[in-house]
């Protein structure tokens, strides 16, 4: 007689042969079909062998996204942030030019030259308005990025990875500039 087990996700009662064994040498609570469905998102299967492979894949996603999407014009950015008067008051054409260059610097994440460019941009913003200006411009950059990601045909995992990595990348590069801390 076959040993039956109920999947905790799909609630199917199926043979135990449809359940893999975990590290504790016990059967998973979810069937292999449900576990594999979780790994696939929007018909894209993401398989990563090691942490360095994951980092390379994330860098590839970021590079591709920033190459395919150019930073919008000053008028378009103003349209995106106009509802937030605090950000709107801090953002100007000079800062627009700086953030445009920073966007271009995000194309090759990990490149020493581009990282130096992003640090210099942070210093310039800090010299003009201190920590407050850095915070507002960082927020504008992330809001513009989020605006583009919403329109992107990428799946949620890729969009969230690009957003989080961009946020942290700038935050880490600006660490120690003025009052900016990670």
pLDDT in tens, 135-173: 999 999 999 999 889 887 778 888 888 999 999 989 999
- What pLDDT score was predicted for residue 47? 62
Quick: pLDDT tens for 55-103.
788 888 888 888 888 999 999 999 888 888 888 888 889 999 999 999 9
- What pLDDT score was predicted for residue 19? 86
Residue 40 has pLDDT above 50, yes or no: no
Residue 42 has pLDDT above 60, yes or no: no
Matching residue, tokens 């969230």: 160
- What pLDDT score was predicted for residue 68? 87
Average pLDDT over residues 117-122: 92
- What pLDDT score was predicted for residue 61? 87
Q: Indicate the domain borders of the chain.
A: 4-41, 49-173
- What pLDDT score was predicted for residue 44? 53
DSSP letters spanning the chain: -PPEEE-TTT--EEEGGGS-B-TTSSB-SS-HHHHHHHHEETTEE---SSHHHHHHHHHHHHHHHHHHSPPPPHHHHHHHHTT-HHHHHH--HHHHHHHHHHHHHGGGTT-HHHHHHHHHHHHHHHHHHHHHHHHHHHHHHHHHHHHHHHH--S-HHHHHHHHHHHHHHHHHHTTTSTT---
Res. 41 pLDDT band, cuts 50 70 90:
very low
Residue 10 has pLDDT above 90, yes or no: no
Res. 48 pLDDT band, cuts 50 70 90:
low
Res. 37 pLDDT band, cuts 50 70 90:
low
Q: Which is more confident, 109 or 75?
A: 75
């Amino acid at each position: 007689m076959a040993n039956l087990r109920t999947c905790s996700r799909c609630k199917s009662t199926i043979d135990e042969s449809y359940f893999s064994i975990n590290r504790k040498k016990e059967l998973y609570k979810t069937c292999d079909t449900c576990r594999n469905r979780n790994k696939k998102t929007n018909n894209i299967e993401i398989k990563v062998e090691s942490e360095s492979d994951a980092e390379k894949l994330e860098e590839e996603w970021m590079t591709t996204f920033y190459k395919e999407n150019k930073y919008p014009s000053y008028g378009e950015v103003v349209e995106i942030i106009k509802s937030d008067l605090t950000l709107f008051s801090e953002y100007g054409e000079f800062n627009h030019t700086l953030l445009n260059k920073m966007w271009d610097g995000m194309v090759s994440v990990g490149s020493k030259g581009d990282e130096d460019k992003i640090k210099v941009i942070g210093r310039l913003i800090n010299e003009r308005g201190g920590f407050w200006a850095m915070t507002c411009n960082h927020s504008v950059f992330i809001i513009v990025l989020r605006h583009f990601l919403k329109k992107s045909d990428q799946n949620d995992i890729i969009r969230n990875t690009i957003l989080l990595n961009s946020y942290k990348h700038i935050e880490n590069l600006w660490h120690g500039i003025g009052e900016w801390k990670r």
